[in-house]
């Protein structure tokens, strides 16, 4: 199927080679689903950031059938109001690409934080300044975001402080500052995927580099931190195996999660690298692709 062809089925299969971890062709198709993990922007949410009535009904039906639903997003906790009304049962969400587990029933309280150590963050900034001139930085802390003068301003964060990344990451006493959730790095002219490749080669083992924006905006978390690694921890705590998980996503920050889950769906509007790794493809976010698959899963449960 070409990139521009419409998706008419919730289960356009795109099997990947078997890898010995339950991720072969059709993996998980007959295994009962216990957990649904879904990205938000470009995936569950419409482009206007709303949750469609069909999707609301599908999420509620999944919970009623005993299937847990986890929102797994690059968004910080303070931007979760778009879905907080649709969290059932446990009330937990995985935010900031796996760096934070949040209780949305408790107003966005942080349950777990997997920070980027400040020394690594400072070294990352120095390396990228040298390797990619023109980069500008923002620092996402557990208490909010702050950014450099050259960084595109956050319209939804008027209280953000403005200073150099070095100043924002400085601590008078080591360990006294708020934990760093992630760094954000913007470049005004590089192609997004080229910027991602260059940054990964530059940052190396200092952090995990990904992107979820259509622009040249990268997100850097602590080493080993990803949506997949935090979701795996949450599932292990519940005794849920990868083959019992269905995941949805559309951008490079979803790739590890889609590869980890037993069944995974790339949205019809997904990045090509996401289409390559997912076991299936569903309709675009504007056409309620997540809801379409959930409805099919619930039909499987009734059989």
Q: Residue 302 is encoded by which pair of tokens?
A: 């009734």
Q: Are 72 and 302 in contact (CB under 8 A)?
A: no
72-93 confidence digits (pLDDT tens): 999 988 878 777 766 666 678 9
Q: What is the pLDDT of residue 6?
A: 32
Q: What is the pLDDT of residue 89?
A: 62
| Half-sphere exposure at residue 261, Cβ-oriented, CA atoms within 13 angstroms | 33
Per-residue burial over 180-192, b if 16 or more Cβ lie within 10 Å, else e, is bbbbbbbbeebeb
Q: What is the pLDDT of residue 7?
A: 35
Q: What is the pLDDT of residue 204?
A: 97
Q: What is the pLDDT of residue 186?
A: 98
Mean pLDDT, rounded, for 134-154: 92
Q: Are 160 and 145 in contact (CB under 8 A)?
A: yes
Which domains, from first to last, does the chain contain?
12-114+226-302 (3.40.50.1000), 118-221 (3.30.1240.10)
Q: Residue 173 is encoded by which pair of tokens?
A: 């006493």
Q: In degrees to the nearest 10, what's the CA dihedral of 80, 83, 86, 91? A: -20
Beta-bridge partners for 262: none
Residues whose CB falls within 8 Å of the CB of residue 170, separated by 6 or more in sequence, listed in order: 177
- Given the structure tokens 């900034």, which residue do they identify? 125
287-302 confidence digits (pLDDT tens): 999 999 999 999 988 7
In which element (H, E) is residue 296 found?
A: helix 289-302
Q: Cα–Cα distances in Å, from 201 out to 33, 204, 238, 255? A: 37, 6, 36, 18
């Amino acid at each position: 199927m070409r990139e521009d062809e419409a998706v008419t089925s919730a289960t356009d299969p795109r099997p990947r080679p078997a890898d010995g971890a339950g991720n072969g062709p059709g993996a998980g198709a007959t295994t009962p689903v216990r957990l649904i993990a879904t990205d938000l922007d470009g995936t569950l949410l419409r482009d206007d950031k709303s949750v469609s009535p069909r999707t609301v009904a599908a999420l509620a039906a999944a919970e009623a059938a005993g299937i847990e639903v986890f929102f797994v997003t690059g968004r910080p906790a303070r931007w979760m109001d778009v879905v907080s009304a649709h969290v059932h049962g446990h009330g937990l969400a995985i935010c900031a690409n796996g760096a934070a587990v949040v209780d949305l029933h408790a107003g966005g309280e942080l349950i777990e934080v997997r920070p980027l150590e400040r020394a690594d963050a400072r070294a990352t900034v120095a390396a990228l300044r040298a390797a990619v001139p023109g980069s500008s930085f923002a620092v996402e802390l557990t208490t909010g975001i702050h950014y450099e003068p050259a960084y595109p301003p956050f319209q939804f964060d008027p209280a953000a402080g403005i200073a150099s990344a070095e100043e924002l990451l400085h601590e008078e006493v080591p360990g006294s500052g708020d934990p760093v959730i992630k760094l954000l790095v913007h470049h005004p002219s590089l192609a997004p995927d080229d910027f991602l490749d260059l940054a990964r080669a530059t940052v190396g083992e200092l952090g995990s580099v990904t992107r979820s924006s259509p622009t040249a905006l990268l997100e850097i978390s602590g080493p080993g931190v990803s949506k997949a690694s935090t979701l795996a921890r949450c599932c292990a705590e519940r005794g849920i195996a990868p083959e019992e998980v269905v995941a949805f996503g559309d951008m490079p920050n979803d790739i590890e999660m889609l590869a980890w889950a037993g069944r995974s769906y790339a949205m019809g509007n997904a990045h090509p690298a996401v289409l390559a790794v997912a076991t299936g493809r569903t309709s675009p976010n504007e056409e309620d692709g997540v809801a379409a698959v959930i409805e099919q899963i619930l039909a499987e449960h009734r059989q």
